[in-house]
Amino acid sequence: AKAISAAFKFGVPAPEQLAFFGDEAAELLFWQSVETLTELGGEAVTINLEPFVQAAKLLYDGPYVAERLAAIKDFFREDPTRCLPVIQTIVGGAEKRSAVEAYEALYALQRFKRVTDAELAKVDFIVTPTAGTIYPIANVEAEPIQFNSNLGYYTNFMNLLDYAAVAVPAAMRADGLPFGVTLFAPAHQDIPLLQLAACWQADTGLPLGAINQPLPASGALPQPIINGQVRVAVCGAHLS
């Protein structure tokens, strides 16, 4: 690994706070990724992931799901069967939530954010697995809520806490499945994160996914982002 131009500090969750859901291969590759960041010039600092995880629970276990219902209210109430069954269960559950619960969740999130912002202030960014493990599609279809909850363990807090994040490939497992990590920082740190991600991905030497094509040279990143905006492409498994 080649060190990047400037030294940096990065947060690593305490080992007992990491969840790999029994996936020892993923756990091994995560700690190898931490070693790689150190080789690139980083200093690892142990951080407390628990408040991030607790904040994430507000997304589906609390009234924040009502925001999703508000976005599709007329469509959903007219004929909820046009949605996948799991969406009917999750979004439909928002009908039972009250305004009082919504404000209580808002206040809880503000409390969590004060604590999580303090953890982030100790470092330049935090690294976590992108997902603690991955599942066959059939498993997710059979038990979508639990398995999707596991898949979102490291991501469900990002939007709630207003953080910027980039997921990068880290390694290919012995069984041919991929493993990746996520680097996240406070909002508006997109450019530094993308610059580090470019160095990271070039260092891994991994091909472009299953097509086995080499990674092209990274283009110049805008500095800063013009008008504070960046174009994004969005796709989702819920689309038909």
* Tens digits of residue pLDDT in 68-95: 899 999 999 999 999 888 889 999 989 8
42-47 and 125-129 strand pairing: unpaired
Q: Express each pLDDT in 3-25 by its tens digit.
A: 455 789 999 999 999 999 999 99
Query: What is the pLDDT, as a whole number, of residue 226?
Result: 66
pLDDT tens readout for residues 151-194: 999 999 999 999 999 999 999 888 888 999 999 999 989 888 98
DSSP 221: P
The pTM score is 0.87
Half-sphere exposure of 140 (CA within 13 A, CB side): 11
CB 63 within 8 A of CB 101: yes
pLDDT category at 101 given cuts 50, 70, 90 is: very high
User: Which distant-in-sequence residues (6+ apart) come within 8 Å of 211 by Cβ?
Assistant: none
Give all strands of the β-sheet with 163-172 in edge-to-edge order: 42-47, 8-13, 125-129, 178-186, 163-172
| Residue burial 217-237, b: 16+ Cβ < 10 Å; e: rest | eeeeeeeeeeeeeeeeeeeee
